[in-house]
Amino acid sequence: MSNHLKFFIDGAWVKPEIPVALDVIDPSTEEAYTQIALGSTADVDRAVAAARAAFASFSQWPKGERLALLKRILAEYEKRYEDIAQAVSREMGAPLGFAREAQAAAGKGHLGATIEALERYEFTERRGTTMVVKEPIGVSALITPWNWPLNQITCKVGPAIAAGCTMVLKPSEIAPISGIIFAEVMEAAGTPKGVFNLVNGTGPDVGQVMAGHPDVDMVSFTGSTRAGIVVAKTAADTVKRVAQELGGKSPNIILPDADFEKAVAEGVTACFGNSGQSCDAPTRMLVPATRHDEALEIAKTAAEKLKTGDPRADGTDLGPVVSQTQFDKIQRLIEAGISEGATLVTGGPGRPDGLNRGYYVRPTVFGHVTNDMTIAREEIFGPVLSVLSYETEEQAIEIANDTPYGLAAYIQGELGHARKVASRLRAGSVYINYPEWDLFAPFGGYKQSGNGREYADWGVHDFLEIKGIVGYGD
């Protein structure tokens, strides 16, 4: 029987206190294919109470027992791998191959990385006459987004378990089914009752209630900067820790010594992956002014090679964006790029040819963009690339840093040169020459892209309090 209309609280699937249902939309058809229950304050109270009751015991579990639990969770995740991939493809429109090879794989990768990090993590350190002890912070509220659902669920749940915290998870109500399957994974792994709880719902009715709850000790939030500000303000009244991974407008500097054609073409692919719905996507490509038109030709060719269409069809590179709201926002920003004088190289408003239904966006490249244009300032969260020019390296660095965001930055060029430029970029992650994904690199942002860091042992840190026990002298 489906658990779509239930929550997972205190080790059991339960009905909401107030039955309210929400349609879950398949963005490729614009039609509802299932419903979920929406939670309320009463449901949050039940879940937080269960987590609070479980904390006293679970926080004292030895590291070895927490490791064993994480390994069981990973084993159960692998059993449900295809179910998870199918759910992500349906709920957010990811091409099925991408859902398997990237979306579901991200969850598996994070669980494995957390296990490896915990195996060598030390929770005590002797400093002279003081024993420094790292202890679980307590009940944690985990609020995750729709664009990389399993990535964000596992890089919060795994470290919280590793630290010895209990938790309440609110997945995005836009893409919630993969989160429900993950709760079934947690149940099948034998997670003690109350340690992991799931309540679906909206940001105002569940997320904010969790953030302000007096029995929640910390909030780990991933989402928009706008929503992150609301979460932080709500949490401030109870002076709880808030870790946030928020929006981005990441620059991609193509240095003069880069393999130009390769760097530009791969930059298009990196920007448009996941239909452009990644907070760290390299959406502002900076190229030498003397090669701007050349870059536009390369980018046009690369963008027009990508096939947009049915996420369940073979050969699809880009699926739809997740919702009508996102589609409308992207269309508004594409129109803004045109009206503000950017050169429309390819793509533009409306759906791709032959697609009359679904939230499909034409892969779009703008050239001759200046950094004061709306498309260079706002996070678009769709397959839209802005190409900007620079005259000097100093100007490139200045443009790259001229943003309220600071989640990621990208540099293409000779390695030694690129490393020098990397040291001057104000971003939490800098990627040189499109490297392989590193699950052990810290992930998080500067400025309005958030605070705190996730992935592996970096994620564990956020769920720990530091205690100094003085008096360990001989």
Give the Cα separation of 397 and 393 in Å (integer).
6
Handedness of CA 313, 277, 114, 219 (dihedral sign): negative
Q: Are 322 and 330 a contacting pair, CB within 8 Å? A: no
**Tokens linked to 404:** 């309220």
Is 245 catalytic? The answer is yes
**Max Cα distance, the chain (Å):** 79
Q: Are 103 and 85 a contacting pair, CB within 8 Å? A: yes
**Tokens linked to 308:** 């947009």
Among residues 110, 121, 119, 118, which one has the least CA distance to residue 74? Answer: 110
Q: Which of 245, 266, 379, 454 is catalytic?
A: 245
Element (H, E) at 242: strand 241-245
Give the Cα separation of 424 and 411 in Å (integer).
11
Among residues 377, 427, 422, 419, which one has the least CA distance to residue 401? Answer: 427
Beta strands in 129-240 (DSSP E): 130-136, 139-143, 166-170, 196-198, 218-222
Amino acid at 60: Q
Is 279 catalytic? The answer is yes
Residues 6+ apart with CB under 8 A from 219: 140, 141, 143, 210, 211, 231, 235, 240, 241, 242, 243
Q: Which of 91, 165, 279, 454 is catalytic?
A: 279
Among residues 434, 387, 430, which one has the least CA distance to residue 409? Answer: 430
Give the Cα separation of 386 and 373 in Å (integer).
10
Tell me whether residue 87 is exposed, middle or buried, using C-beta atoms within 10 angstroms of its C-beta: 0 to 12, 13 to 18, 19 or more. buried
* Straight-line distance from the first to the last Cα atom of the chain, in angstroms, rounded to the nearest whole number: 61
Question: Residue 57 CB: number of other CB atoms within 10 A?
Answer: 12
Question: What amino acid positions are annotated as catalytic residues?
Answer: 245, 279
